[in-house]
Amino acid sequence: MLEDGLFDKMSQRNCERLRWKSEGGALRVLCAQPDGDWDQATTVFRDEELAPTSLAFSRGGHERLDFVWRAETGLRLICAVHSTELGPGAGGLRRHELVIPEREVIRDSLNLSRAMTCKHAAAGIKRGGSKLVLHSPGVPEYGRDRFLSVLAEEIDLSGTVTGPDTGLPPSVFEALAVRSPNVTGCGSSAHAAATGVRAAIGAVAASLGAPLAELHVGVQGLGTLGLPLARKLVTEVGTLSVTDTDHRRIDLLTSMLNTDERDRVQIVPPYQLGELAMDIFAPCALGALITPQRIPSLRMRAICGGANNILAADSLGEELELAGMLLQAGIVFIPDWLSSAGGTIHASTQWAEGLAFDEGHARARIQRHCGATVDRILGESRQTAHAPLEIAVRELLLPRNLRCALEALEALEAPRTSKPGTPR
């Protein structure tokens, strides 16, 4: 279990920065006071206070994890950098309420940065994986300008590129983009992300041997991605089941539909959709849904969604293990860093092309990556009896020489190649 209260301890001990850093396989944990030099964190913190986070950091194979506490604004920011092997770290800025335990926020930061490493590498984008996470009540009305200026300053100091994610309104990112050149993608890419998930679902449907019009698809989460996805699917599938913890989002979807479309939609209570018998389950809310304990109760044929980190795993190796368990249970799992890459592809294409940006070009690239690539990987999965995630790691990540992919595949192969009585 990760330790709660590191930010509280930082404020009590006048520590502005706390850093975990991997250097040549060795872990260093450093801290710095305001306007002070870096020093060993053990000069301020006890080993047992740092150990849970150190374990989580090492487990995921990350390069850096920073905690930043700025006393003058109350800013509490986490920056997780998983890999810069392919380029500078890039990933969205999201916010968690203070009621969310700090250990969960740390885990979310680490896992999301790993997902961004995979997402960029698989799409051929020359960026690494990172994530910025605020653990705060939000941007204060009083002192708003100062808070945003300090946050923009910390974004620049992080050495990463960021953009919109959950928990913060578009106005915050528009204000940050004025203050920092490292805040991008302020226009919504949700529809591009939904386009990618829809393309991947189409490939999954083909692999199941039936047109979408004959299939039952479930969408969990009707937010900025899930809503346009559900809106696309309702005219294409046989039955569409939806759920969301916010009934207003369900009301919004139904208000968009005509009578015939509403008849195709089943509204399911929150947290029950995963146990409903269906063909394709599309999670589009928060991740960590699929655990080893939950797999026996799952009744879908395939999982293909827009949420990040659908599998409750803290390393790529653990993801491969869970994907193998799903395959044994007869469930096809499409890596979320492949199916949900539409928004990332759209934003990176827009960034690269600037004023010459062509929406049609971006859409075609999304269709190729999230549709045709998924179709090819599913075909190879059927031929080899290996999980689609394993195929994707071998074909999309390993050629990029990602350390995490090499280590995960080596760990996966060890039990296959070892013989009884052979040390592992």
Give me the DSSP letters along 239-278: EEEEE-S-HHHHHHHHHT--HHHHHTEEE--TT-GGGS-E
Tell whether 64 and 211 lie within a shared domain: no
**How many independent structural domains does the chain possess?**
2
SS3 (DSSP) at 189: coil
- Domain boundary pick from 147, 179, 211: 179
Q: What is the mean pLDDT of residues 34-50?
A: 94
In tens, the pLDDT along 338-350 reads 999 999 998 888 8
Same domain assignment for residues 24 and 169: yes
Whether residue 421 lies inside any domain: the answer is no
The answer to whether residue 363 sits within a structural domain is no
Q: Summarize pLDDT for 129-175 with one digit per residue, the tens.
A: 999 999 999 999 999 999 999 999 999 999 999 998 989 999 999 99
One domain for residues 245 and 107: no
Cα Rg of the chain, angstroms:
22
Which pairing describes strands 89-90 and 239-243: parallel, antiparallel, or unpaired? unpaired
CA distance 38 to 413: 41
Write the CB contacts of 420 (distance below 8 Å, at least 6 apart in sequence): none
355 conformational bin, left if phi > 0, alpha if psi -120 to 50, beta if neither: alpha
| Higher-pLDDT residue of 43, 190 | 43
The per-residue pLDDT for 1 is 44
Whether 416 maps to a domain, the answer reads no
Whether residue 35 is found in the same domain as residue 83: yes
Asked whether residue 34 is domain-assigned, the answer is: yes
SS3 at position 72: coil
**Cα dihedral angle (365, 371, 372, 378), rounded to 10 degrees?**
150
Q: For residue 324, which of 411, 205, 242 has the smallest C-alpha distance?
A: 411
Q: What is the pLDDT of residue 355?
A: 74
358 falls in which pLDDT band (50, 70, 90)? confident
Assess whether 165 and 197 both reside in one domain: no
* CB-CB contact of 279 with 236 (8 Å): no
The answer to whether residues 319 and 406 belong to one domain is: yes
Range of 246's domain? 190-342+352-358+368-411
| Helix (H/G/I), strand (E/B), else coil: 96 | strand
Supply 313's token pair. Answer: 């795993």
Are 27 and 62 within one domain?
yes
- Is residue 246 in a domain? yes
131 has catalytic annotation: yes
Determine, yes or no, domain membership for 419. Answer: no
Tell me what the mean pLDDT of segment 266-272 comes to: 90
| pLDDT of residue 188 exceeding 80 | no
CA–centroid distance for 172 within its chain:
21
* Residue 35 confidence (pLDDT): 83
Is 85 part of a structural domain of the chain? yes
CATH number at residue 144: 3.40.50.10860
pLDDT tens sequence across 213-232: 999 999 999 999 999 999 99
* 213 and 92 assigned to the same domain: no
Are 38 and 134 contained in the same domain? Answer: yes
Residues 375-404, mean pLDDT to the nearest whole number? 97
To the nearest 10°, the Cα dihedral for 372, 369, 393, 228? Answer: -100
* Residue 273, pLDDT above cutoff 90: no
Catalytic residue among 119, 126, 131, 419: 131
State whether 314 and 399 are in the same domain. Answer: yes
CATH of the domain at 299: 3.40.50.720
- 271 plus 159 within the same structural domain: no
35 to 78, 150, 224: CA distances (angstroms): 19, 15, 40
Q: Which residue has the higher pLDDT, 419 or 304?
A: 304
- The residue from 150, 179, 208 where one domain ends is 179
Most confident of 21-30, 187-196, 260-269, 317-326: 317-326
Flag whether 382 is in a domain: yes
Token duo for residue 309: 């980190």
Query: Does pLDDT of 57 surpass 90?
Result: yes
Phi and psi (nearest 5°) for 31? -145, 160
% pLDDT > 70, the chain? 96
Q: Are residues 106 and 205 in the same domain?
A: no
Say if residue 423's pLDDT is above 50. Answer: no
Cα distances (Å, whole numbers) of residue 169 to 138, 162, 184, 193, 263: 10, 15, 14, 18, 33
